[in-house]
Amino acid sequence: MLDCRLTTQNCQPVLKLTVLAAAVAVVGLPINDLASYAMLVVLAVVIFSGEVRMELRAWLAAVTIVAVAIAGQILLAPPRIDEGHNVFLPGGPNNVLEQGLPAQVYRHLADEFDKQYPPARRCGPSVSGCWHKGGFPDRVYAFSADGIFHKSNLSRSVTQLDFSDPVWLRLGFINEARYNWYPGSDVQRTQRDRRFWMGLHRWHLTMPWFETIRLPAAMVGGELCWRGEVMWEGADERFSLWTGEGCRTIEPADAGRRIFGIAIKPDTLSMYFTPPWNVRLLQFANWALVLAAAFGLIVALVRFKARRTMLPFILIGLAVAVIAIDDASFLGGVRPLDGGDDGLFYDGVGRLILQKLLAGDIYGALQGHENVFYYGGPGLRYFRVLEHIVFGESYLGYLSLIILLPFLAFGLFRRFLPESWALALIIIFIAVPIGMLFGTSFANYVKWSARGFADPATYILFFCGLLPIIGATSAGPNEKFTPAFFGALLLALAIFMKPIVAPAAAVLLGGAGLYALYLRQWPRLAGLCIGFLPVFSMALHNWYFGRVFVLFSANSADPDLLVMPPSAYLAALCELFTLNFSGGYLTRGFFQIVNWLSGPSEYHAMDPVNAAGVAILVYVVVRGRKFDPWLRLVGGAALAQHAVAFFYSAVSARYHYLTWFLTMLVDTVFMHEVGMGWLKRRYPVMSERIISHPWSRRLASGLARLQKVAS
């Protein structure tokens, strides 16, 4: 089925993925710090920009390198610090914290909590979003995904401790579903700094929490520095309180004893531990081994040219810059997601599923917290499970999808446009916010992915499936099974992530399937059908756990989403013919169309521009026989998604990014093939002035140099 012959290039995608997996093994799981992730990104760029060797000798060398790296990391593993943390909420049904924490520590935490949140001003359980109404801790130390591979009887074990901002300490418990506090609560989750230059410290954790560390004997001689309040365990489990800023050398008597950091008041606690020189030497040796093994793996297996990596690194650099400006915590931190938001639901439920999976409760894990899927698409909660296994307490898995987006967009641009146009468009898409007016800017996807919503992941998976379906080059798709299978599978995963893209997927797969049937491309037809079968797993889940038939998710009929069902349009027509407007349906229909035309930018000044874009889209699909048939199929998918906006909420911008991106793609191709020629004929003088302008020449020269590098 894979058609992988050693004499062709068919094996390269599989081989590159295998080399990337070997690189992950060298780095080690979980990949939860920015340095390890950055190294893995560099390795991925080199691997996918080059060609993997197929000689047996090279692969034997690579296997040896990986084995030595893993064994060396075990032998050179530095001692680990036990670390625990949790939210502090006094009381609760079982008084878990009071029972599990040392009495002296709990009393101090409770006193500080009463000072920060006086009992007389606390919200009650009847207040919507109040912390009393949510859950309380069910264990002394919260679950941490970082502890999956490096277990501890606290939350996790770490090799270093250095934080001044809890967002970068990666406290996973802050996004547990039970702490879904709304603004009505006196205990808040977070504060946001909206100044655009504060991307590195966009979020401030306001939840009350505590930090516990326990140092092994190997750390004796090191130094712990802190700011704020710490409680240091002495003899007979008695604790001394240290306040302000200070440092203390670790003595033999401190080994195995607990040190508590108090963070009831926001932004008051920071800690930094400097290990003794022998431990630092082990840490350095461990990192040196990883770097050497990664370099050896590339040398052994990958042929590449440095200049071919320049364009990928440029795209990644621009993408990271945009992400850092919006919210730098996405680059390896864990921000407190907003109460009541989709992001908190998906991550909170994902964490519950992961804990059930680790406990061996397969039934509960597959149930996914709902007998019948209702809350949006079900896919992101399961993606969060996989993300936390591989990337620990971080959102680097979602970040990987976002970093992949520019490459997918560039592939789609290059599929239908010349290289220079594709390069110009991708630079504009990433770095120039003019696309915000049309809902086709990289910043749109960054914003919602950082908030933990499913929409960006849905569209990225859709783009991943779109390229194999229509073919990555102007020659179109081939008749083989494998690309059709994976294209259809990725479209199924996109629907699994969020069913709103089902109409576009149906048009694409229907058109591709009919074309394959017409040409009697049976392997391709089989790949399309088999690859798409997993989409019915949602219906199977709903039938098995809920005993009802729901194809995707039950919220499709929610009146907050389905704001204009077909019956409402019929009522609007009746009002128009009878001139009886008392029902308000005609007004609702009018504003639904107006909001649709405003696009994701939600600026009504864009209505005429967007209407022109839709008109061009309709022309290409209906009358554009001179255009690539696969472009017309993409246009048909875009029209199918436009139809969704007639019925579902048109004011939720994130629902329609895919719609307007595909519209923009078709319109740009139209401008290249028809519009530019018309403008030159209609306005020859103006066109000549624009072409001969120094800025235009510099832009053309820069794109030519970039094109030379890209090729």
pLDDT, position 571: 86
Q: Are residues 356 and 493 in the same domain?
A: yes
Total domains in the chain come to 4
Residue 445 shares a structural domain with residue 342: yes
Range in 383-387, 390-394, 643-647 the model is least confident about: 643-647
Residue 179, domain member (yes or no) = yes
How many whole angstroms separate alpha carbon 578 and alpha carbon 187? Answer: 55
Tell me, yes or no, whether 554 lies in a domain: no
| 469 alpha carbon, distance to own chain's centre | 24
- Token readout for 661 is 């991106």
Same domain? 294 vs 213:
no
Considering the domain architecture, whether residues 464 and 380 belong to the same structural domain is answered as: yes
**Tokens standing for residue 593:** 């169309």
Asked if pLDDT for residue 633 goes beyond 60, the answer is yes
Query: In the prediction, which pLDDT does 74 show?
Result: 92
- Cα Rg of the chain, angstroms: 28
Residue-level pLDDT at 237: 86
Q: Which residues contact 573 (CB under 8 A, 6 or more apart)?
A: none
Q: Count H helices and E strands in the chain, helices first.
A: 26, 12
Q: Let me know if residue 537 belongs to a domain.
A: yes
In a domain, 635, yes or no: yes
Residues 384 and 421 in one domain: yes
Confidence of residue 7 (pLDDT cuts 50, 70, 90): very low
**pLDDT one-digit tens code per residue, 413-471:** 999 999 989 999 999 999 988 877 777 899 999 999 999 999 999 999 999 999 999 99
Query: With 0-12 CB in 10 A as exposed, 13-18 as middle and 19+ as buried, what is 500?
Result: buried
Residue 525 in domain? yes
* For residue 528, pLDDT beyond 70: yes
Of the pLDDT bands very low, low, confident and very high (cuts 50, 70, 90), residue 126 is confident
Q: Hey, what are 285's tokens?
A: 């040796």
Distance CA(231)–CA(213), nearest Å, equals 11
| DSSP string of 30-98, one letter each residue | ---SHHHHHHHHHHHHHHHHSEE---HHHHHHHHHHHHHHHHHHHHTPPP-EEEEEEE--S--SS-HHH
DSSP structural state of residue 141: S
Residue 156 is part of which domain span?
A: 81-274
Which is it for strands 203-205 and 223-233: parallel, antiparallel or unpaired? unpaired
Beta strand 302-303 with 258-263 is: unpaired
Query: 18 and 59 share a domain?
Result: yes
Examine the pLDDT at 5 and tell me if it is beyond 50: no
Give a yes or no: residue 690 inside a domain.
Answer: yes
User: Quick check: is 320 in a domain?
Assistant: no
State the pLDDT confidence band at 650, using cuts at 50, 70 and 90: low
Reply yes or no on whether the pLDDT at 707 is more than 80: no
| Confidence (pLDDT) at 709 | 66
Q: Provide the whole-model pTM.
A: 0.93
231 in the same domain as 85? yes
Per-chain mean pLDDT for the chain:
90
- In the Cβ-directed half-sphere of 522, how many Cα atoms lie within 13 Å? 0
Closest by Cα among 203, 450, 510 to 322:
450
Read off the pLDDT band of 2 (50, 70, 90). Answer: very low
The candidate with the shortest Cα–Cα distance to 271, out of 220, 224, 333, 332, is 224
One domain, residues 385 and 401: yes
- 8 Å CB contact between 443 and 196: no
Half-sphere exposure of 641 (CA within 13 A, CB side): 29
15: number of Cβ within 10 Å = 20
Non-local (6+) Cβ contacts of 666 within 8 A are 616, 617, 620, 621, 631, 634, 635, 638
Task: Tell me: pLDDT of 1 over 50.
Answer: no
Dihedral over Cα of 253, 258, 263, 264: its sign: negative
> 693 falls in which pLDDT band (50, 70, 90)?
low
Q: Give every CB contact of residue 693 below 8 A, 6+ residues apart in sequence.
A: none
Contact 302, 50 (CB under 8 A): yes
Q: Is a pLDDT exceeding 80 seen at residue 15? A: yes
Instruction: Tell me what the mean pLDDT of segment 327-348 comes to.
Output: 92
Most confident of 203-207, 604-608, 691-695: 203-207
Residue with more model confidence, 558 or 72 = 72
pLDDT bin (cut points 50, 70, 90) of residue 347 is: very high
For 599, list phi and psi in degrees, rounded to 5. Answer: 70, -175
143-156: average pLDDT: 94
Alpha helices in 328-392 (DSSP H): 342-358, 362-367, 379-391
| Residue 360 confidence class, pLDDT cut points 50, 70, 90 | very high
- 399 and 489, same domain (yes or no): yes
Give tens-digit pLDDT for 663-681: 999 999 999 999 888 777 7
Q: What are 196-246's pLDDT values in tens digits?
A: 767 677 889 999 999 999 999 999 999 999 999 999 999 888 999 999 999
Specify whether 647 is located in the same domain as 526.
Answer: no
pLDDT recorded at residue 118: 92
Amino acid (one-letter) located at 4:
C
pLDDT of residue 134: 77
- Segment 337-356 shows an average pLDDT of 93
Contact partners, residue 377, CB within 8 Å, separation at least 6:
454, 458, 495, 496, 497, 498, 499, 500, 552, 553
Is 311 within a domain?
A: no
Q: Are residues 28 and 104 in the same domain?
A: no
Are residues 98 and 211 both part of a single domain? yes
The residue-averaged pLDDT of 140-146 equals 96
Q: Which two tokens stand for residue 695?
A: 């800025």
